């Protein structure tokens, strides 16, 4: 049975990965476990050797901690963005592309940049692809995105298209661009741009972000939350850590 492998590296260790190698950084949760079982393109995308799959979902952290009999912490995509964007060494002379979500516009990018003093807006670009029902973008659109990344000499691509689209397109553009890091961060861009409210710390502490999403965005969250619960049943036979490879 195919396994979904997670890294257990902390922010500092991932920073070293970013400094020394070209990578895709995924931040996966229970819905991702569901997709891994149900969506072949998604499963293939997150299984590439150049992918680092971090634990975004609290229940994945709990399950793997019990399995390994040691504390395995989660690493939320939003927290990782904040960490990277406040690191002067990593940001020096770097150029960014914010890809996807309704936050990828002039106002949204200014709001995101307002959180981080070390970002130079002259080196920040954005592009919001047209909406598609399918999970895979057409080749014409992928080429357009790759040409933009290479023309602007982008170092870091921040993808907020939601899964499975973001992980699939990250795989598509990885070998066609010179970007040093591609980060699939989902709704984190909406939180940082102030387009959507992030769950309060007390909610996150008690692993109730799914409930907060239902309360604040029921229409768009109900299906994803339900499928996340289905992902619970897949965990025991599907997920593990990379040191078990």
Single pTM value for the model: 0.92
Residue 12, strand partner residues: none
111 pLDDT band (50/70/90 cuts)? confident
| Res 195 pLDDT > 80 | no
pLDDT digits (tens, 9 = 90+) for 28-37: 999 999 999 9
pLDDT digits (tens, 9 = 90+) for 152-194: 999 999 999 989 999 999 999 999 999 999 999 988 888 877 7
| Res 121 pLDDT > 90 | no
Total Cβ atoms within 10 A of residue 233: 12
User: How far out from the chain centre does Cα 144 lie?
Assistant: 21
Question: Using CA of residue 89, residue 95, residue 97, residue 103, what is the dihedral sign?
Answer: positive
Q: In percent, how much of the chain has pLDDT > 70? A: 98
- Distance CA(218)–CA(210), nearest Å, equals 10
3-class secondary structure, 159: strand
């Amino acid at each position: 049975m195919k396994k979904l492998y997670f890294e257990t590296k902390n922010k500092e260790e991932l920073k070293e990965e970013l400094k020394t190698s070209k990578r895709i950084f995924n931040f996966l949760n229970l819905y991702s476990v569901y997709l891994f079982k149900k969506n072949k393109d998604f499963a293939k995308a997150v299984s590439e050797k150049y992918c680092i799959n971090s634990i975004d979902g609290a229940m994945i952290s709990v399950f793997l901690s019990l399995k390994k009999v040691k504390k395995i912490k989660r690493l939320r995509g939003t927290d990782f963005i904040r960490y990277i964007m406040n690191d002067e060494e990593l940001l020096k002379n770097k150029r960014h592309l914010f890809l996807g979500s309704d936050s990828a516009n002039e106002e949204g990018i200014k709001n995101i940049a307002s959180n981080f003093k070390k970002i130079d807006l002259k080196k920040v670009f954005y592009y919001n692809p047209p909406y598609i029902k399918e999970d895979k973008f057409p080749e014409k659109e992928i080429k357009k995105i790759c040409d933009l990344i290479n023309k602007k000499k982008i170092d870091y691509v921040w993808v907020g298209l939601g899964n499975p689209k973001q992980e699939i397109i990250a795989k598509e553009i990885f070998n066609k661009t010179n970007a040093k890091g591609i980060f699939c961060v989902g709704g984190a861009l909406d939180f940082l741009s102030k387009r959507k409210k992030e769950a309060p710390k007390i909610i996150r502490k008690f692993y109730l972000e799914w409930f907060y999403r239902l309360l604040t965005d029921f229409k768009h969250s109900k299906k994803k939350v339900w499928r996340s619960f289905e992902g619970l049943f897949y965990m025991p036979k599907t997920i593990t850590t990379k040191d078990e490879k």
